[in-house]
Structure 1
Amino acid sequence: MSRPREDRQDGTGSPVPSGSAARHTVDPAVGPARHMGAPRRLPGWLKIGTAVVSVLLVGVIAFGAYWAIRLQGNISKASLGAGSDKTEPVVDDARDRMQILILGSDTRDGKNSQYGGPEDSTGYGNSDVMMLMDISADNKRVNVVSFPRDLLVDTPKCIDQKTKQEFPARQNVMINSAMSEAGIGCAVDTVNKLTGLEIDHFMMADFDSVKELSNTVGGVDVCISDAVFDPDSGLRLPKGTSKVQGEQALAFLRARHAFADGGDLGRIKGQQGFLSSLVRKIKDDGTLTNPAKMLQIADVVTKNLTIDEGMASVPTLLTVANRLKNIDVGKIAFVAVPTMPAASDPNRLDLAEPAASQLFAAMRKDIDLTDPTATPTPSGSPDVSATASPAPSTSPPAPAYDKAVQPVTVANGSGVPARSQEIIKSLTAGGFSQLAQLAAPAVVTTAVYYGAGFEDVAADVATLLGVPAAQVLPAAGVNGVQVYLGSDLVGGAAGADAPVQLPADIVNQTAGDVVCQQANPFLITR
């Protein structure tokens, strides 16, 4: 029998035997042919570890997706404005200065029906709480400014963004009614008109949110000077410090008669004390670094929250929350808008001038209310004060006229009532005393008009208020000088770098202060 040829013409070896012959090679040194070229087995521990990691990864993704969907589904949203024109660009929620209007709704429907019937709140309801939270661009300070609900203001024309129904402007109405007809956007537009700011976002919560949040954090410590019982809110507290949650936490925030003289300002101080204590508790308990606790709080908050469309996403809310977590509690300032009893009704409030205008001017200039005189060197800018030679001292030439007898009129077309007093105060500080004011149709751009022979006076007035020279114009119908204020909010300070004057007690407290509320003497119990 001849052997098979091994010298194939194509130069290859013999083909591998098939079938059973392949499983039984005659060369014991080779080993079973079925293992030739097969990959090595993975160690058992590596297989198990890979499986566990895979399961955990899928679980984490599923868990995150579940919470993202759940939290997003909780959110209710509404329009930011009610027809007003926005002149400022949309803010970068991660890096820009940001103003958020925080509202508490007094609606009595659904879960809130136990606090009254439909007759207690009409339309969209009134704002039971109104606070403007102002976060600095560098995330180093926050101002929280409270507006008393009894404050009388003028509301702008508002359009309900759902029904497109138009509601006319109103004069001398309580600020808490601003949202009752046209919705939350009208409250935003009203605060913009009052302060000269442009609010970036809003958040509105109902009664139930306070109860659930206070329960989630395990209660909030509050302090009062004497034992007190307020039958209207149901608040009952012993003297000293108590932990409130649930119904008693809501009663503390709603109590109108329990604090001070039983008015709205005492109520505001109580709310500010509660929020200060809540901030300290969340920071001290490490809640902001505890994902499980943060998810609980986020779930509670979003279930009872209405926010504007630009903020209505979980990532945006997380971005804002992340900006707040490292702020020093001593730089979270709680302020109440300065007020006085209203001339038209002693049970209502008017803005107290000039303090209110000073506060709004400081807010527009982004002043640190805890330290209004602070002038930090901007980041990246050299401090030239130590090296630059002082400029020679020269006195400006005296004007060729008597400022005290020059007629200057302030026509307010800015849409911000307080602006007239702010400008008049600046003119008075600049030496002008023959001043008058009048209401005027709304305009966008501020201008200084002057009659024949008053060009030099107009130039000095414009310089004093920071109005550009291109906006100083002759006008045949003007007697003397007229400052026509526009919505651009130019002017209002004696020079662009002049320090802002504020009442010494403008800040009620910071979040770092532990304050004991003064009990209303008429509700003290023994």
Structure 2
Amino acid sequence: MGQSSVRGRGERGRRAAVPEPREPGEDGSPPEEERPASPDAGRRSSGGGPNSNRRRGKEPPKRSRGVRILRWTALTLAVLVLGAAGAGYFYYEHLNGNLRKEDLDLGDSKIGKPEPNAAGQTPLNILLIGSDGRNTAENVKLGGAKQDADRKPLGDVQMLVHVSADRSNMSVVSIPRDTRVTIPQCTDPHDGTVYRKTEGPINESLQNGGPGCTVATWKELTGVYIDHFMMIDFSGVVSMADAIGGVPVCVKNNVYSHDSKGHGSGLKLTKGTHNVKGVQALQWLRTRYGFEDNTDIGRAKAQHIYMTSMIRQLKSGTKLSDPGKLMDLAEAATEALTVDHGLGTVKNLYDLGNDLKRVPTKRTTMITMPWEYGGGGEYVLPKPGDAEQTFSLLRNDIALDGKDKKKPDATPAPTEPKEQLPVVVQNGTASTVLGPVSGRASVITSELARLGYAKATANTVLISQADTTVLYPGEDRQGDGLAVAKALKLPKSAAKSSTSVQEITVVVGNDWREGTTYPKAATDDADKTPESADALNGEQKGCMKVNQGYTF
């Protein structure tokens, strides 16, 4: 390798986009720029030395091919990693942007979040709303009734999902869409319109400002605190069903939901099990004319069968093992949903999904609110006794499947004599529907004093709570809480551990609005789900009965 060879390569290097590497020295040593610099390299004068050519603007020495490839590879990998991270971030923001968000509660309920249990856990309540809005061409096509295109949507499907504090079980309660309830005063967050309190079908609550008014209505009806809502429309159901890949459902006979008067969803299935998706899934969920007695009650049962089947399908993981399908599902879900601001990010939805995933399928129970006809069959009313018993189970975090672990019967001894035990009494009757009852804290304080609790005092802060409760600060004070509950003739279940109180605290709820004698439970089976709720377990593969007028 002569000198001319090196000079020729230098000429090419000045023309090349990327310089070629310099040849190693004749003795096999590295080229000049790769040799370790001498200790005094930085002290060389500008007039000479091995770096003088660089300082004089001459061609810089060439790097070895191995070093150059390594550096280009590292740069390429860095670009790819950063690009992927950037794409992930932008896709995450894209999904967040898909979500529509609305206010959680448009009413004036004073119902507070449930007290944490001894482990600091609280239950989770999510209201699911299916809207019949025809606000897009696709929704008009799927929902029919073009004359309703400009009408405000109705909340025709409503289900309250209750996840226990320890995430061991989940209960889902549906309510028929024409159930007559008190719809509280709601203020539309978009235009400030105030909708006065009224009586009407619960599905009309959605028209009074949006899903936040439906949440307010449920809180007033049930006394249950609601953490979040999720709302979906016709096209959302179709896209979600497609993304999941279909859901297996079953009918006991051929069914065609259609008659000469135009009634029916159009669902047409032969006897047996079918994997429904897309429009067919929407038809299944909307079918009223065709199942059992052509009522919303039959439709609710069909929805429960669909949901339990979908849960089993998702838990099996078969539809989520493919990243492409998972992305399709994420896209469909975020485009389909309207949620409250507390659920308004993909991360929050993901965290919620993890909470729900912890619940075993066998501990999932779906019911319809116990009901009875009113107005000569024109509408539905909550069934006296049974409906309130069901709501009480939710409020007290008692599983609808009846499989909660029984607490030991042994009652710990009080830590102090009752005459020396400080007890705080608070009025919890601040209900916006029934209105507060003044003086309840003072009345029960006087009753406790009569019973020997000389240090009982009244807290003048008015709150809203459905059930009368005795809160005690920590498990070591359980005996004191149970003793106070017993003195007031409250059930043992009324005594609860709480991290938010420092003294034994009695909250007089809306279930005890008068007198000094606590009203007895309407049934001896207060901790059991009423038979009228028609419970369906998450592992049951139900099959819908078909109305003989809608078969073929």
Per the TM superposition, whether the score is higher than 0.5 is: yes
Distance 1:46 1:140 in 2: 53
CA distance in 2, matches of 1:461, 1:217: 55
TM-score in terms of structure 1 length: 0.71
> For the residues of structure 1 that align with 2:324 and 2:341, how far apart are their CA atoms?
27
Query: What is the alpha-carbon distance in structure 2 between the residues aligned to residue 243 and residue 104 of structure 1?
Result: 21
Q: Distance in 1 between matches of 2:514 and 2:221?
A: 14
Report what 1:142 is aligned to. 170
Matched, 1:325 2:353: no
Q: Deviations over 1:74-123 (max 9, x none)?
A: 1111111113144425999x964211111011111212122235643765
Q: Give the C-alpha shift of residue 167 in structure 1.
A: 1.5
Q: What is the rounded CA distance, in whole Å, between the counterparts of 2:505 and 2:78 in structure 1?
A: 69
CA distance in 2, matches of 1:97, 1:297: 27
CA pair 310-118 structure 1, distance change in 2 beyond 3 A: farther
Separation (CA, whole Å) in 2 of partners of 1:217 and 1:446: 52
Residue aligned with 1:101, SS: strand
Identity %: 28
Partner of 1:239: 271
Please give the alpha-carbon distance, in whole angstroms, between the structure 2 residues aligned to 1:318 and 1:283.
14
> Which residue number corresponds to residue 82 of structure 1?
106
2:254 to 224, 227, 239: 227
- Once residues 80 and 231 of structure 2 are traced to their aligned partners in structure 1, the CA distance between those partners, rounded to angstroms, is 37
1:335 is displaced (CA, Å) by 1.2
Between 49-58 and 296-305, report the one with greater CA deviation.
49-58
Q: Report if the CA contact (8 A) 2:128-2:230 is conserved.
A: yes
Aligned mate of 2:332, from 286, 293, 300 = 300
Alignment of 1:256-275 (within 5 A): 256-275=288-307
- What is the match of residue 396 of structure 1? none
Say whether the 8 Å CA contact 1:223–1:239 is kept in structure 2.
Answer: yes
Moved more, 15-24 or 257-266: 15-24
Give runs of aligned pairs for residues 365-514 of structure 1, distance below 5 A: 365-371=396-402, 374-375=405-406, 415=431, 441-443=435-437, 446-447=440-441, 449=443, 462-464=488-490, 483-484=512-513, 500-504=527-531, 506=533, 508-514=535-541
Task: Report the equivalent of 2:461.
Answer: none
Letter in 2 for 1:98: L
Deviation at 1:374?
A: 2.8
Task: Answer yes or no: is the 8 Å Cα contact 1:373–1:499 preserved in 2.
Answer: no
Distance 1:208 1:108 in 2: 10
Residue 223 (structure 2) pairs with residue 196 (structure 1) = yes
The question of whether the paired residues in 1 share the 8 Å contact of 2:109 and 2:216 is answered with: no
> How much does 1:323 deviate?
1.6
* Displacement after TM superposition at 1:520 (Å): 1.2
TM-score between both structures, scaled by the size of structure 2:
0.68
- The question of whether the paired residues in 2 share the 8 Å contact of 1:106 and 1:121 is answered with no
Cα pair distance change 1:86/1:141, threshold 3 Å:
same
One-letter code of the match for 2:86?
A
Q: 1:371 to 1:444 in 2, by over 3 A?
A: farther
Deviations 1:361-410 (A, max 9, x none): 1000001111255336xxxxxx896xx9999xxxxxxxxxxxxxxxxxxx
Return the alpha-carbon distance in structure 1 between the equivalents of residues 285 and 412 of structure 2: 56
Q: 2:317 aligns with which of 285, 306, 325?
A: 285
Q: How does 1:163-174 map to 2 (within 5 A)?
A: 163-171=191-199, 173-174=200-201
CA distance in 1, matches of 2:505, 2:405: 30
TM-superposed CA distance for 1:493, in Å, is 6.6
User: Which deviations, in whole Å up to 9, do the C-alpha atoms of 1:219-242 show, x marking residues without a partner?
Assistant: 111100000101121100000001
Residue 359 (1) aligns with residue 403 (2): no
* Secondary structure in 1 matching 2:338: strand
Which residue of structure 2 aligns with residue 156 of structure 1? Answer: 184
Q: How far does residue 178 in structure 1 lie from its aligned partner after superposition?
A: 1.2
Please tell me whether residue 217 in structure 1 is matched to residue 262 in structure 2.
Answer: no
In the other structure, the counterpart of 1:120 is 148
Could you tell me how far apart the structure 2 residues matched to 1:310 and 1:127 are? 21
- Whole-Å separation in 2 of the counterparts to 1:289 and 1:444: 58
- The range that moved more, 292-301 or 238-247, is 292-301
Partner of 1:521 in structure 2?
548
Counterpart residue type for residue 277 of structure 1: S
In 2 relative to 1, CA 177–470 (structure 1 residues): closer, same or farther, beyond 3 Å?
A: closer
Measured in 1, the distance between the counterparts of 2:163 and 2:244 equals: 24
Whether the aligned pair in 1 keeps the contact of 2:169 and 2:364 (CA below 8 Å) is yes
Q: Is the 8 A contact 1:464 1:494 kept in 2?
A: no
Cα offset, 1:359, TM superposition: 0.4
What is the match of residue 160 of structure 2?
132
**Residue 448 of structure 1 contacts residue 471 of structure 1 at CA under 8 Å; is this kept in 2?**
no
Aligned length: 434
Alignment of 1:55-66 (within 5 A): 55-66=79-90
**In structure 1, how many angstroms separate the alpha carbons of the residues matched to 2:388 and 2:292?**
26
Match of 2:536, SS state, is strand
* Structure 1 residue 257 displacement after superposition: 1.3
Please give the alpha-carbon distance, in whole angstroms, between the structure 2 residues aligned to 1:416 and 1:444. Answer: 14
Question: What is the Cα-based RMSD across aligned positions, in Å?
Answer: 4.2
Amino acid at match of 1:216: A
SS in structure 1 opposite 2:339? Answer: strand
What is the match of residue 103 of structure 1?
129
Give the AA of the match of 2:436.
Answer: A
Whole-angstrom CA distance in 1 between matches of 2:193 and 2:78: 55
The equivalent of 1:426 in structure 2 is none
- Amino acid paired to 2:382: L
Query: How far did 1:21 drift?
Result: 7.2
Contact 1:224 1:239 in 2 (8 A): yes
Post-superposition offset of 1:245: 1.2
Counterpart CA distance in 2 for 1:339 and 1:88 is 27
What is the one-letter code of the residue matched to 1:306? T
- Deviation track 1:274-302 (CA, whole Å, cap 9, x = no partner) reads 11111111222344565543322121111
* 1:149–1:176 contact (8 Å) kept in structure 2: yes
CA distance in 2, matches of 1:121, 1:103: 19
User: Counterparts of 2:266 and 2:153 in 1: how far apart (Å)?
Assistant: 22
Shift of 1:54: 1.4
* Counterpart AA for 1:374: K
Instruction: Quote the offset at 1:447 in angstroms.
Output: 4.9
Contact 1:86/1:198 (8 A) holds in 2: no
SS where residue 513 of structure 2 aligns? strand
Give the drift of 1:166.
1.4
**Mapped contact 2:370–2:532 kept (Cα < 8 A):** no
Deviation at 1:50, TM superposition (A): 2.7
Ranges in structure 2 where 5+ consecutive residues have no aligned partner: 1-39, 53-59, 259-263, 415-427, 452-483, 496-503
